[in-house]
């Protein structure tokens, strides 16, 4: 597109310079003008090709063709285990081993294959479709070539690309922020020149992020941050678009690191080398430090999403070992306030029902911890008619729970009568053997917190408790007395193990990641030092505004007098950094 045309498009879609750094250093990011009607024919033609969820004002002038939603069987959730649960797998493996020994004599155990087959038959999806023993052959030992004769990728089965593309299209419909970013910034290509090595879950939603980065001008190479969570057909769809992607389900640890090295193009045939990193869990960053530290000389920065990865980056920063600027996406307002609260609100009931088919109305539930996650869980459980108790250590959160209409109790007061126990504290040992022992028969025990420390699962592996695999992620624990309780996902984070994650929420986080990359890529020397930064608040606000049109929400604009009165700018930021929302 010529620069003239580009300017035209820029004006039509209302792009303005938003200063993110000092006054002379401004980065062009698209400014939302929700009230503008876009009538430039070129714009319309390129937008309409890619419009699935446009702002309502655009709908007046654009023909929007929503790809039909197909009733598609869900992919197996079996592998969607959080990164941290993989990290904790050594602990779990020890526990499993103990259980295995025990189960040889005491339990009826389904093999993994049997469990998978049961799930597949429930879902009507054959994960091994088109292959006899696909999982047995490492993709590294297969010829990898797509229909364009492109070979720089490694996926389970390129033949499944078409199916993966449909999955990506479904995700696109629920990811308005990323799609809007594409449309609004595609002409400007703010990531032109960016070479991004990425390491994230490979799902339909992250595929939308990857393809957005490419549409904004970036060159990318990608691998998975989790050995289980890759949607193979999505990886195939990306490979079919000539995107160098290295990822499949059930990677061995050795394959996992090999894929990361490929995402960095180590020993590659070209001289491509990344100048940005997008990481989820810190493994790619860690790999660079360990195997190719020189790469940091040419890196403009790293954007990190996970708690674990951020923790590592802060550790490096404290010891002056961080040699590039890092953007902490995990603690941006648009992550914590939406991911923790709304994600859990949307998925706690889905998870419980998938696992247990339980009727929830009228059930007595105790939620341990009334932070963001606990609040989200309580909101939706209340909506379906549960009787809710909350436990808290913090008087402020306890008071919030009281004023939201929940009874704040000590666990001991209700443990014998409750039907469901949900931990959401981020703490350890919240539910112990002594608690479990007091539960009534049929009680369901589960965790919504990040790690499997909240329920002391190891103590439940006592020799006189019989473990029985009932369904995928569901186990019966029978005590000597004959009492039997239900444990979900062995105490791991329930919704990530047993349910799907709303694409809309991922759109918010992914938009933050994309803007973090744009910001770091354009930052003039000196703006960011070798430290860990939060995304500027203006960016947070921008990410939120990208998602408002999906609700046909109309923001009120401040007038000059009001701006002066409040001492803020018309275009934000609207709140000081300490504001808690």
Q: Does 372 bind ligand NAD (CB under 6 A)?
A: yes
Contact characters 412-431, ligand NAD, x per CB under 6 A: ------------xxxx--x-
CB of 307 to ligand NAD, least distance (A): 6
- Angstrom distance (rounded) from CA 485 to CA 159: 43
| Residue span binding ligand NAD (CB under 6 A) among the ranges 114-122, 315-323, 338-346, 466-474 | 338-346
Among 448, 498, 510, 535, binds ligand NAD (CB under 6 A): 448
- Angstrom distance (rounded) from CA 287 to CA 253: 13
Percentages of the chain per state (helix, strand, coil), in multiples of 5: 45, 15, 45
Q: Of 152 and 454, which has the nearer Cβ to ligand NAD?
A: 454
Asked if residue 435 lies in contact with residue 411, where contact means CB atoms within 8 angstroms, the answer is yes
CB of 251 to ligand NAD, least distance (A): 23
CB of 494 to ligand NAD, least distance (A): 7
Asked if residue 250 lies in contact with residue 79, where contact means CB atoms within 8 angstroms, the answer is yes
Q: Does 393 bind ligand NAD (CB under 6 A)?
A: yes
Q: Does 281 bind ligand NAD (CB under 6 A)?
A: no
Q: Of 338 and 521, which has the nearer Cβ to ligand NAD?
A: 338
| Residue span binding ligand NAD (CB under 6 A) among the ranges 100-108, 133-141, 223-231, 489-497 | 489-497
- Which residue has its beta carbon closest to ligand NAD? 371
Contact characters 492-511, ligand NAD, x per CB under 6 A: -x-xx---------------
- Per CB under 6 A, contacts with ligand NAD among 341-360 are 343-344
CB of 174 to ligand NAD, least distance (A): 17
Among 373, 378, 414, 486, binds ligand NAD (CB under 6 A): 373
Q: Does 260 bind ligand NAD (CB under 6 A)?
A: no
Close Cβ partners of 88 (under 8 Å, ≥ 6 residues apart): 451, 452, 492
- Angstrom distance (rounded) from CA 17 to CA 506: 26
| Residue span binding ligand NAD (CB under 6 A) among the ranges 183-191, 213-221, 336-344, 458-466 | 336-344
Q: Of 110 and 534, which has the nearer Cβ to ligand NAD?
A: 534
Kindly state the greatest CA–CA separation across the chain: 80
Please state, in angstroms and as integers, the Cα–Cα distance from residue 73 to each residue in 76, 112, 173, 274, 377, following that order: 9, 20, 18, 37, 26
Q: Does 137 bind ligand NAD (CB under 6 A)?
A: no
- Angstrom distance (rounded) from CA 490 to CA 457: 7
CB of 502 to ligand NAD, least distance (A): 10
Q: Of 240 and 308, which has the nearer Cβ to ligand NAD?
A: 308
Among 358, 397, 534, 568, binds ligand NAD (CB under 6 A): 397
Report residue 465: phi and psi, to 5°.
Answer: -105, 130
Q: What does the H/E/C string look like for 7-74?
A: HHHHHHCCCEEECCCCCCCCEEECCCCCCCCCCCHHHHHHHHHHCCCCCHHHHCCCCCCCCCCCCCCC
DSSP H or E stretch at residue 388: strand 387-391
DSSP 458: H
Q: Of 146 and 347, which has the nearer Cβ to ligand NAD?
A: 347
DSSP 260: H
CB of 258 to ligand NAD, least distance (A): 29
State the sign of the Cα–Cα–Cα–Cα dihedral 195, 534, 379, 348.
Answer: positive
- Per CB under 6 A, contacts with ligand NAD among 290-309 are 307
Q: Does 339 bind ligand NAD (CB under 6 A)?
A: yes
- Angstrom distance (rounded) from CA 16 to CA 57: 18
Q: Of 425 and 507, which has the nearer Cβ to ligand NAD?
A: 425
Tokens 């923001």 sit on residue: 555
Q: Does 449 bind ligand NAD (CB under 6 A)?
A: yes
Asked if residue 363 lies in contact with residue 444, where contact means CB atoms within 8 angstroms, the answer is no
CB of 398 to ligand NAD, least distance (A): 8
Asked if residue 304 lies in contact with residue 313, where contact means CB atoms within 8 angstroms, the answer is yes
Contact characters 516-545, ligand NAD, x per CB under 6 A: ------------------------------
Q: Does 488 bind ligand NAD (CB under 6 A)?
A: no
State the sign of the Cα–Cα–Cα–Cα dihedral 10, 14, 15, 17.
Answer: positive
**Tokens matching residue 279:** 């990481």
Q: Does 384 bind ligand NAD (CB under 6 A)?
A: no
- Give the interface with ligand NAD as residue ranges (CB under 6 A): 307, 339-340, 343-344, 368-374, 391-394, 397, 424-427, 430, 448-450, 493, 495-496
């Amino acid at each position: 597109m010529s620069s003239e045309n580009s300017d035209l498009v820029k004006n039509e879609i209302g792009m303005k310079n938003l200063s993110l750094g000092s006054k002379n250093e401004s980065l062009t990011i698209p400014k939302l003008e929700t009230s503008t009607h876009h009538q430039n024919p070129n714009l319309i033609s390129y937008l309409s090709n890619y419009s699935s969820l446009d702002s309502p004002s655009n709908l007046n002038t654009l023909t929007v063709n929503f790809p039909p939603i197909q009733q598609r069987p869900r992919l197996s959730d079996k592998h969607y285990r959080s990164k941290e649960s993989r990290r904790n797998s050594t602990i779990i493996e020890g526990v499993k081993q103990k259980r295995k020994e025990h189960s040889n004599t005491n339990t009826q155990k389904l093999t993994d294959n049997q469990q998978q087959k049961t799930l597949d038959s429930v879902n009507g999806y054959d994960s091994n479709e088109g292959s006899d023993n696909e999982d047995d052959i490492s993709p590294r030992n297969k010829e990898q070539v797509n229909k364009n004769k492109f070979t720089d990728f490694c996926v389970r089965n390129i033949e499944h690309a078409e199916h993966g593309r449909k999955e990506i299209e479904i995700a696109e419909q629920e990811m308005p922020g990323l799609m809007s970013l594409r449309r609004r910034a595609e002409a400007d290509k703010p990531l032109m020149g960016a070479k991004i090595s990425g390491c994230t879950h490979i799902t339909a939603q992250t595929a939308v992020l990857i393809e957005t980065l490419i549409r904004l001008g970036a060159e990318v190479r990608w691998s998975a941050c989790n050995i289980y969570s890759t949607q193979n057909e999505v990886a195939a769809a990306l490979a079919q678009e000539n995107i160098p992607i290295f990822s499949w389900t059930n990677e061995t640890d050795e394959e996992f690191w090999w894929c990361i090295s490929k995402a960095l193009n180590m020993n590659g045939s070209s001289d491509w080398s990344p100048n940005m990193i997008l990481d989820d869990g810190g493994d790619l960053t860690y790999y660079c430090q360990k195997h190719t530290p020189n790469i940091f000389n040419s890196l403009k920065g790293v954007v990190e999403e996970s708690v674990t990865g951020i923790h590592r980056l802060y550790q490096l920063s404290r010891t002056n070992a961080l040699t590039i600027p890092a953007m902490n996406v995990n603690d941006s307002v648009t992550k914590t306030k939406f991911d923790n609260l709304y994600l859990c609100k949307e998925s706690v009931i889905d998870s419980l029902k998938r696992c247990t088919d339980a009727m929830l109305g009228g059930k007595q539930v105790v939620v341990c911890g009334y932070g963001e996650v606990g609040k989200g869980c309580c909101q939706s459980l209340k909506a379906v008619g549960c009787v809710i108790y909350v436990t808290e250590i913090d008087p402020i959160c306890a008071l919030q729970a009281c004023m939201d209409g929940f009874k704040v109790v000590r666990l001991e007061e209700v443990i014998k009568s409750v039907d469901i126990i949900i931990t959401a504290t981020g703490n350890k040992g919240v539910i112990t053997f002594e608690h479990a022992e007091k539960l009534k028969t049929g009680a369901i025990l589960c965790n919504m917190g990040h790690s499997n420390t909240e329920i002391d699962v190891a103590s439940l592996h006592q020799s006189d408790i019989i473990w029985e695999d009932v369904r995928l992620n569901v186990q019966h624990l029978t005590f000597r007395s004959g009492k039997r309780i239900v444990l979900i996902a062995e105490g791991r984070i329930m919704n990530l193990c047993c349910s799907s994650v709303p694409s809309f929420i991922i759109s918010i986080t992914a938009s933050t990641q994309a803007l973090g990359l744009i910001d770091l890529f354009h930052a003039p020397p000196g703006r960011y030092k070798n430290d860990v930064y939060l995304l500027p608040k203006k960016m947070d606000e921008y990410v939120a505004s990208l998602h408002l049109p999906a609700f046909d929400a109309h923001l009120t604009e401040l007038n000059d007098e009001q701006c002066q009165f409040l001492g803020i700018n018309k275009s934000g930021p609207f709140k000081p950094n300490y504001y808690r929302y």
